[in-house]
Amino acid sequence: MYEDRIRRPALMNKLMSADQAALLFKDGMTVGMSGFTRAGDAKALPAALVERARQGTPLQLTLLTGASLGNESDGLMANAGVVARRMPFQADAALRRKINSGEVMFIDQHLSETAEQLRSGDLKAVDIAVIEAVAITADGGIIPTMSVGNSASFVQQAHKVIVEINLSAPLALEGFHDIYVPAARPHREPIPLLTPAQRIGQPTIRLHPDRIAAIVITDSPDSPSNALPPDDETDAIARHVITFLEGEVKAGRMDTSLLPLQAGIGTIANAVLHGLVDSPFRNMTMFSEVLQDSAIELLDSGHLAMASASSITLSAAMHQKFLDNIEQYRERIVLRPQEISNHPEIVRRLGIIALNTALEFDIYGNVNSTHVGGTHMMNGIGGSGDFARNGQLSVFVSKSVAKDGAISSVVPFAAHVDHTEHDVDVLVTEWGLADLRGLAPRERAPRIIENCAHPDYRPQLRAYFEEALLGGGQTPHVLEKALSWHARYKREGSMLVK
C-alpha cells in the first residue's frame, strides 16, 4: 500500500495518524508549514494541532508558511489559540481578527526574505517542518504538491520533518518543481537563473530520510481560489494596462513578447492577466509568485509560452482542467521556492513587469497594500515589494473607490506606506492610467488625480493639492488635513465631503 507514494520502503514505519504526529509538537515551538496562496498547504496537521489544543494541551506556536493557507486552517488554529506568532503572510478572516485585536503577533514580510532571515539566524530556527507531498522518492526526496513556498528551507533547517502525502495530488505533478536553495552568506555564488524557463535545481526537496519523523496520509484537495470573476471595472483596468504596454512596444522599450510578467494574487491582477487573452502580445513568459486561472488561460491560448511561480491557485473548474491536461503543462510550468521566484537578484536581472494590487495610493504615488484605514491588516505585503522594487516596470492597480464610493482609493496621504513613490512607476484604476516615470512629486499629483481618481473625488483632491502647494516643498502636504479623509470615513461613513 502507498508504494508509489512512499518509494523508500524503510520509511513505511514512519506512517502514523495526524493525531500521533501532532504529539511531536511542544509549546513554544517554531513550525514551518508548506502552503502558498491556498495551494499545497498541509491539510491534516493543522486540524490535529487544533484538536490537541482543545483537549487542553498548551500549544502556543510560532507558525511560518510560504504564504496563505487554505481550508480555513489559519482561522481554526488561531481560534484554538495554537498560533501565537505568524509570518510571513495570511489571508484568513478569523486569523485577521486575532491579528487586529492583538492576540496573534503577525510579522508581515517580503516573501523572498523569510528563508534568508531563517538562514542568517535573525529568526528563531524552525523546530518542525510539515510539508505536503505527492510522494517521497527512493532516495528520500520530497516531491511537493501545488506549491513550493518556503518548504525547502524549512526542511533544511527543521529538527524533525513531517510529510503529509496527499493522495488527491496526482503523481503527474512530479517534474513540475525546481528546488534551488541559495547558500549561506557571505560566501554565495550567483543564482544561475537566466530565463524564466530555466531549471537550476533538483526536482525534489532533498533530505536524509532519517530526518523524516512522521508520514501522514491525506486526500483533501486544495481550497479553490477565491478570486472573483472579471467585471466592468477590472476589464477597464486591463484595457488601460494593455494600451500602455502596446505603447511600450511601439516606443521600442520591449518587443511583443514583453518582459516576464508578474501578477499579484487576487481578483484585479487576475483580471488584468485575463485581459491579455485579447492582446496582440505573443510568446510571453511569466515569472511570478502565483499562477491563477488567467495564467492557465494564457498558456492555453498560446499567448504565454511558459510560466514560472511558487504556486498554482485555481478555481475548482480550472483545477480540474489542469489535472485533465497535466502532461501538457509540465514542460511549460516551473514551480520554485518563493525565495527564488521573488528573489531581488533574479527579478532585477530579468526586468519583470510587476502588476500588483493597491488598497489605496496617495496623490504622490505612495502605495498602501496592507492596512485598511491605516491600522487594520488585510493580508500582508506578500511579494509585491520584491517585484515592485526590483522589476523594470512597477504597476499598481486598484478600483478607484470601495464601499460603493464611500472610500476613495486615491487619497491625499496614504495612511500606511508599503511601497514608496520610488518604487511605483504606473498607477491604474478603471478611469485611467498614470505613467509616473521620470516625474517629480509635484508632477505626479495632477496626473494621478486626473487620470486615476474617481471623478466624484477629483475636486476634493485638487483642492487638497492646491492648498498643499501654498506650503511648498518637494512633496507638498497640509499635515493637519493629510489623514482627514480616513478620519472622516471613520466618523461619517464616507470620505466624500457632502
Residues between 404 and 423 that touch a second copy (CB under 8 A): 415-420, 422
Q: Does residue number 466 form part of the binding site for a second copy (CB under 8 A)?
A: no
Q: Does residue number 250 form part of the binding site for a second copy (CB under 8 A)?
A: no
Q: Does residue number 194 form part of the binding site for a second copy (CB under 8 A)?
A: yes
Interaction mask 203-242, a second copy, x per CB under 8 A:
----------------------------------------
Among 439, 449, 453, 461, binds a second copy (CB under 8 A): 439
How far is CA 126 from each of CA 123, 154, 217, 272, rounded to the nearest angstrom?
A: 9, 6, 23, 37
Q: Does residue number 345 form part of the binding site for a second copy (CB under 8 A)?
A: yes
Cα–Cα distance measured from residue 464 to residue 476, given in angstroms and rounded to the nearest whole number: 10
Which region holds residue 365: left if phi is over 0, alpha if psi is between -120 and 50, else beta? left
Q: Does residue number 377 form part of the binding site for a second copy (CB under 8 A)?
A: yes
* Binding residue count for a second copy, defined by CB under 8 A: 86
Cα–Cα distance measured from residue 412 to residue 198, given in angstroms and rounded to the nearest whole number: 44
Residues between 10 and 69 that touch a second copy (CB under 8 A): none
Owner of C-alpha cell 529538527: 159
Residues between 92 and 131 that touch a second copy (CB under 8 A): 99-102, 105-110, 113, 116-117, 120-124
Q: Binding site for CoA: residue ranges?
A: 379, 383, 403
Among 234, 359, 486, 495, binds a second copy (CB under 8 A): 486
Q: Does residue number 282 form part of the binding site for a second copy (CB under 8 A)?
A: no
Among 54, 253, 330, 403, binds a second copy (CB under 8 A): 253
Among 188, 256, 317, 328, binds a second copy (CB under 8 A): 188
240 or 486: CB nearest a second copy: 486
Cα–Cα distance measured from residue 398 to residue 493, given in angstroms and rounded to the nearest whole number: 20
Q: Give least dist CB 431 to a second copy, A.
A: 23
Q: Which residues, 6 or more positions from 282, have their beta carbon under 8 angstroms from its beta carbon?
A: 256, 257, 302, 303
State the catalytic residue, choosing from 289, 339, 421, 430.
Answer: 289
Q: Does residue number 373 form part of the binding site for a second copy (CB under 8 A)?
A: yes
Residues between 136 and 155 that touch a second copy (CB under 8 A): none
1 or 251: CB nearest a second copy: 251
Q: Does residue number 84 form part of the binding site for a second copy (CB under 8 A)?
A: no
Q: Binding site: residue ranges?
A: 379, 383, 403
Cα–Cα distance measured from residue 410 to residue 361, given in angstroms and rounded to the nearest whole number: 5
How many residues comprise the chain? 498
Q: Does residue number 473 form part of the binding site for a second copy (CB under 8 A)?
A: yes
Judge contact between 175 and 202, C-beta under 8 A.
no
Interaction mask 302-341, a second copy, x per CB under 8 A:
----------------------------------------
100 or 315: CB nearest a second copy: 100
141 or 385: CB nearest a second copy: 385
77 or 212: CB nearest a second copy: 77
Q: Does residue number 462 form part of the binding site for a second copy (CB under 8 A)?
A: no
Peptide bond into 224 cis (omega under 30): no
Q: Does residue number 482 form part of the binding site for a second copy (CB under 8 A)?
A: yes
Q: Give least dist CB 252 to a second copy, A.
A: 7
Interaction mask 387-406, a second copy, x per CB under 8 A:
--xx-xx-------------
Quick check: is 103 catalytic? no
Judge contact between 231 and 240, C-beta under 8 A.
no
Q: Give me the active site residues, please.
A: 289
